[in-house]
Chains A and B, each alone.
Chain A
Amino acid sequence: MIGKPLSSVSASGSEPVVFAENLRHSYDRRRFALDGVSFTVRRGEVFGLLGRNGAGKSTLIKAMTTLIQPTSGTLRVLGMDPARDGQKIRRRIGVVQQGESFDFTTVQRNLDVYGMLWGIPRAESRRRRELLLTKFGLTDIRKRRAFDISGGQKRRVQVAREFMHDMEVLFLDEPTVGLDVIMRRTLLDSVREEVRRGLTVVFTTHNLEEADYLCDRAAVIDEGKILVLDSIENLKRLYGGKKTIDLTVGNGDSARFFSVLAEKLGSGATVTTSGNSAVILTQDPKEALSKIAELSQTLGAQLEWLNVRKNTLEDVFLHSVGHGGESLADA
């Protein structure tokens, strides 16, 4: 046990930890980084924000952590308005930023200074520091300057440092970037452990295996809009009866091939293309395969790669980002 989740000492209530309604934010008054985002985060859950780079995930995190004020819309964090009660909110949250953030000193001192900044009593701060250094495999590098260590080690220091203080909600912005498989799992398990003890987590990632492993619910965000939001199970169930076909065309006009194929498959399937490859989601893979074969003969296209498989969260992501929320609703 590292710290003490604040929820265990404060009234938990049934109100959402985060409530966002029609949030919009623009950095340049021309393009909206957030464009009508609405969602809630429930107490004690791990809420995932999935999206490509530049989709709006970090902007959303910045808004929820009071670093920026949304241009319009309603946002409540722990029942408070970030524009009015920013400091009160920040006392009850933790944030691991996507970018590096360190003091120009040793790993150990980074943790000590952070504990001091959060007002953790010295003895308790030392106890937590030792626990975290061990847990995140930082003991051997504790005397090294934070700027001299590797990218993965830096990430571990940043995450470990955030657990120095108590919090009700933890915002993790792509926390596993640069971590090896073992450390990634250690981190995710540490988060899970804290969630079991009452912590609420908002977690952004573009690694969908992680989202599958950690999140209770997830929203797919793209170009500032939430395309789909549901529990991980439901998201996968949306495509329960469907299969995914991966297809690569080796010669000829692949764009035309995919366009004709999509027409032939009709509304029962969705085709997401990328160059000369496509991912086809269909309820009837047999029929789709026969149409692919027929079309390849008609157009003289050579099939370089063809694979039929079960759906993953990645397919949910690809299809929602590729076609917008409507196709998912139809599915």
Chain B
Amino acid sequence: MRTPNLIRLVYRNILVNTDPGSLVILIGLPALYLVFFGFGFQAVASAGGAGNSYLTYLTPGIMSFQVVMAGTVGGSMLWADRRWGMLSQLLMGPFTRLQYLFGIMLTSILFGLGGAAVMLGVAYALLGTIPVQPLALGIIFGSITAGSIFFGGLMLYISALVKSNTAYNSIQILLLFVVNFASTVFYPLSSSLPIVLRVLFQVNPLTYVADAVRGAYSGTLTAMDVYQMLVLLAEMAAILFVATRAYMRSDVSYE
């Protein structure tokens, strides 16, 4: 039986993007956040969450953080394939533009889910317990998937528009910083925050992912989390539409 094109593209994306150096950064960096921030801020933070432990609070946040990392993987893949001629080569081969796009999206989801699973493993090693129920795992799975598609789409959109390596990297760094730190990944939304930051927190899709994952992780899922998930799904569909449009209209190479 012939393997579907989409699966072959995803396999190729994983093969060419999983050199040891990239993997260390992709998985190692969030794990370091978990270790350094989890223990480092324990002394100063008495944030909410199970057992009042900052590490317990941070674990679902860092799992959610993986969706942003997954998004950057997707955007970088498109950027590199365009820059190094592989996009045009693949599109002169047996693949369609949409298959290529979905191949990248699926790879991003796999990176997001894989990264979240690794973070769960790291948390287990640090905490000795993971209080996650099977139903909660389903919610976490869905949230990470939706978040990976959203950020994958966002980075694809940027990647389709930006032609300079420096510009792409600068935008990526800025976006990573704002999205991560203006979300509930590291700390809860507080009324003491300036109004601009509060709005930023509330419109940030990563906040929705982090709240849903945290709610499922600690068994404190609220109606607000469900509402946020619905908003996230709508945003995911919108960004996917916009990114697909931009990508379909973009040049396949930089010639």
The 8 Å CB contact of B85, one of A90, A91, A93, A101, is: A101
Contact across chains for B89 and A101 when beta carbons are under 8 A apart: yes
In the complex, B128 has a CB within 8 A of chain A: no
Known: A104-B16, A116-B11. A97 touches B92 (CB 8 A): yes
What is the chain A residue whose CB lies nearest that of B254?
Answer: A99
Contact across chains for B80 and A104 when beta carbons are under 8 A apart: yes
The 8 Å CB contact of B89, one of A66, A86, A97, A105, is: A97
The 8 Å CB contact of B19, one of A86, A90, A105, is: A105
- Which of B1-9, B53-61, B138-146, B229-237 lies on the face that meets chain A? B1-9
Please count how many residues in chain A sit with their CB below 8 Å of the partner chain's CB atoms. Answer: 24
Contact across chains for A105 and B15 when beta carbons are under 8 A apart: yes
Contact across chains for B15 and A113 when beta carbons are under 8 A apart: yes
Known: A95-B92, A97-B92, A113-B16. A67 touches B86 (CB 8 A): no
The 8 Å CB contact of A109, one of B11, B15, B84, is: B15
Chain A residues whose CB sits within 8 angstroms of the CB of B94 once the complex forms = 87, 90-91, 117-119
Contact across chains for A104 and B84 when beta carbons are under 8 A apart: yes
Known: A67-B92, A91-B94. A100 touches B16 (CB 8 A): no
> Which secondary structure characterizes the binding site on chain A?
loop
Contact across chains for B12 and A116 when beta carbons are under 8 A apart: yes
Chain A residues whose CB sits within 8 angstroms of the CB of B19 once the complex forms = 104-105
Chain A residues whose CB sits within 8 angstroms of the CB of B86 once the complex forms = 101-103
In the complex, B253 has a CB within 8 A of chain A: yes
Contact across chains for B8 and A101 when beta carbons are under 8 A apart: no
Contact across chains for B88 and A101 when beta carbons are under 8 A apart: yes
Chain B residues whose CB sits within 8 angstroms of the CB of A86 once the complex forms = 96
In the complex, A65 has a CB within 8 A of chain B: yes
State in angstroms the CA–CA spacing of A103 and B14 once bound together.
11
In the complex, B239 has a CB within 8 A of chain A: no
Contact across chains for B3 and A119 when beta carbons are under 8 A apart: yes
In the complex, B90 has a CB within 8 A of chain A: yes
Contact across chains for A67 and B16 when beta carbons are under 8 A apart: no
22 residue pairs from A and B, CB less than 8 Å apart:
A67-B91, A87-B96, A90-B92, A90-B93, A90-B94, A91-B94, A93-B92, A95-B89, A97-B89, A99-B255, A100-B84, A100-B85, A101-B88, A103-B86, A104-B84, A105-B15, A105-B16, A113-B15, A116-B12, A117-B90, A119-B94, A147-B84
- Give A residues with C-beta under 8 Å from B: 65-67, 86-87, 90-91, 93, 95, 97, 99-105, 109, 113, 116-119, 147
